[in-house]
Amino acid sequence: MEISVSTQKAMMEALLFASSGPLRVKDLKELTGLPENEIEDLLDDLKEEYRQRGGGVLITQLAGGYMMHTNPDCSGWARKLKASEPARAKMSQASLESLAIIAYKQPITKAELEALRGVNSDGVMKALLDRRLIRIVGRKEAPGKPLLYGTTQEFLLHFGLKDLTGLPTLKEFQREDVV
C-alpha cells in the first residue's frame, strides 16, 4: 500500500516534533522505511512550507540532522517562557575558553589545552564532559598515549550549529574587533 505525500509529510512532522534532538535522514529511513532521497525531498518541502507560512516554528538542519525549533522572529516569547523556568547552569569563562580551544583545535589532549590556556584544566574538562559538550575521541600516538578530546552533537545543538564549519573564522573575529 502506497502512502500519500501528505501522510508522509505528516509522518516527518510527527517524528521531528516528538524527537528531543535532530534526526538524521538515516534515522528517518529506519523509522519510516522510506528511501533517503524521498525523505530529503519531503524535508525540503516541509522546510519551505514552514518558512513561507511564517509561523512560530521552523524546520532546519542542525548538528547533522533535522529538527523543529522556534522561529527567531518569535524568540522573545520563547525567552519569556524559558525565563519562567528554572535556570540551567551557566558556563564559566574558563569553560567557554576551553570549549572554544577544543572546538578549533580538535582532536586535542588535555596537556595541549593546558599549554594554550596556561592553567590546570581538570575541573573544566570534567564539567564539559559531564555536560556532554566534549567527549574522548581516541588516544594520541605519543608517550603515555594521552586521551584526545573533541566536541559532540550536544555542542552543535547548544550553539545552534549545523556542523563545525559554522564556527566563526579568525578573520570574522578580527572584523568584529575593528567595528
The per-residue pLDDT for 80 is 81
Among 37-41, 46-50, 89-93, 103-107, the range scoring the smallest mean pLDDT is 89-93
CA distances from 136 to 22, 83, 88 (A): 22, 33, 24
The residue type of 118 is G
> Higher-confidence residue: 138 or 170?
138
Average pLDDT for residues 131-140, to the nearest whole number? Answer: 95
- The model's confidence at residue 143, banded by pLDDT at 50, 70 and 90, is very high
Confidence class for position 171, pLDDT limits 50, 70, 90: confident
Handedness of CA 109, 110, 114, 117 (dihedral sign): positive
Cα–Cα dist 143/49, whole Å: 55
CB crowding 10-45: b at 16 or more within 10 Å, else e = ebbbebbeebeebbebeebeeebebeeeebeebbee
Residue 169 has pLDDT above 70, yes or no: yes
51, containing H or E segment: helix 36-53
**Residues counted in the chain:** 179
What is the average per-residue pLDDT within 73-80? 84
Q: What does the alpha-carbon distance between residue 139 and residue 108 come to, in Å, rounded to a whole number?
A: 10
Mean pLDDT of the region 8-37: 93
Q: Looking at 105-109, 112-116, 131-135, 160-164, which range is the least confident one?
A: 160-164
Quick: pLDDT tens for 82-117.
776 655 567 889 999 999 999 999 999 999 999 999
> What pLDDT, in 10s, does the model give residues 58-67?
999 988 899 9
Give the span between the Cα atoms of 99 and 103, in whole angstroms: 6
Q: Give all domains of the chain, ordered by start, each with its CATH number.
A: 5-81 (1.10.10.10), 93-178 (1.10.10.10)
What local confidence, expressed as pLDDT, does residue 67 receive?
Answer: 93
* Mean of pLDDT over the chain: 89
pLDDT at 135: 97
